[in-house]
Structure 1
């Protein structure tokens, strides 16, 4: 019997999956029917997949799709990944030898020194600027949007996300703001548009830096916003407010103590910080092997328990924690996935078919991780002293509704 047959028979408890092996023989795995999962048929074109799927499933399947040695015969790639994600979660989030081994060596995988971090960031964020234009909103928000209604557009949801974050910072005229991992500058520029403050955005991506600086000049905000190429460990200034969105996933579990210690050193005694990041609901784990190799080397989305233990010994206090429901990022990724599909020919012209299949697998797999595998987004407000904040959260709602929403 082929190795993957008993493996998948044990795994596929929900939905209907047919695998046509490299010899052309079909194998049906018929689990409990669930209305949200369509039947899927995949074909294997490489005999090595008969054993690789068992030994290193996440890496083998992703690479096979990229290389064209696994093709979808019935259903879509998204249907296949959703079905696989749901079954993997119900079976055991660390069900394979590959996942167990990754957990044991995750600190080595995430050993993100300054130079390593720069190389990891360049791997993903220094891709062609034209690529990100294909699927992001015009403000280049590359993190979880905030959908306040079912008919909210991606642009509206990304604007709402920025306002939601800004409302937690108690921004006042004359303050100095640090944006750690500023991306293409969207949040920093929004803060400067609405508040008489001085913003410094740092990034390790040369492509992002160039775009952010150009945007500041075009909007005549260079006197309020400056962008520099720097790591959070290299700064020696002090700030009234610190914000970081979508960067903490690149820190690495072994550097959490350093990160919060440096944040405490950079934050004024009466300062406030806001950290926005992806987390996992089921406790500590390891980064998917395919994601780690092809998309985010050195990356990891932590459980809150891993983060809070580092905060508690840093001298900072967690003054507010909000969990954004998984649907916010799942819907964000759905928008990105659909926009990428619509612009796929342009992406292929920039790179090639293999790259397009890689990006499709990345976006669809990430969406499924939020819908089926327990990923969520958390926002943590931090301060040296809780007394610098109001006793209730009313100020957040008041500040959020004060921003223009047209």
Structure 2
């Protein structure tokens, strides 16, 4: 009898070990989202002593689908999220979604909630983002000092120090919350030069400097060598480029040619990418209707510097459609450009849609309709909102003479 019991216990132990080994073998090639109700997920977070990551999406949200296709499937992303969180996703227009949207004040998509097992908000992030930024948001959630939900609570308690106020203002500004400027004013009123030269001061400058008339830009300009030494020349150049670009669009609208081209030279000195120079350069001639200059300039960029950049080529072509779709010469140039982009990326929805619309206006109706129908089929895999727009574009193309 003892031998039989011993044999059974050995078998059970072996079975248990085998099950544990099989559990360990379970792997995922994307973020693994738990099933069940919201309360069940909260309970799971409590049981595993983990925060819950909630992907708030809708069926029509194109950036949501982009994140799922391009970010959630990256190994460094899904490894970090699967190791550190109980992950959950919910359509905010179905089931428990509307109630949760109201509870957590979710008004844009995608929104990412990081909550504890009690359902308390710990951190919040929004919008489409690249993998490295997406991981950084998760790291903020795991760090109480940087977590947005904790910053909200501290702000409401009135016990925030200057560094925390800065972090809170920067987060709000990222969400385009009007309250960000209110807090910015408070921080600047309390700050001195030493604080503005600190890491927190640099965060303010990076987040809130849009033009060269601002107080923060003037401080950056006066202390440029300090910021380059401590935070990097590339990061400082990025702030300067943003200020230059804001001026450029004003100069372009007003046809202030000398000032505009001085800005182009400034962008080059600030190591701006080709896209950031090519697009405004071409648009200057569109806005001021210099047909020959637009054709010559767009040909130069497309043939000499954008040979592998189908997105930028398509953007330059699309700009003609937006500004001068009744100008035959400009539309002929747009058709030439979009055909190059289409040849490079025939499965890119935005390029296919633009290709169809431009060719519809340049008389290549049969090819335009064919591309328009392709765009509608592609939109099926994106969202209902995008599909509706694709169908409208197709009907417009069919109605052209």
TM-score, length of structure 1 as denominator length: 0.25
The structure showing larger relative contact order (alpha-carbon pairs under 8 Å, at least 6 residues apart) is: 1
- Which of the two has greater helix per residue? 2
Q: Which has the larger radius of gyration?
A: 2
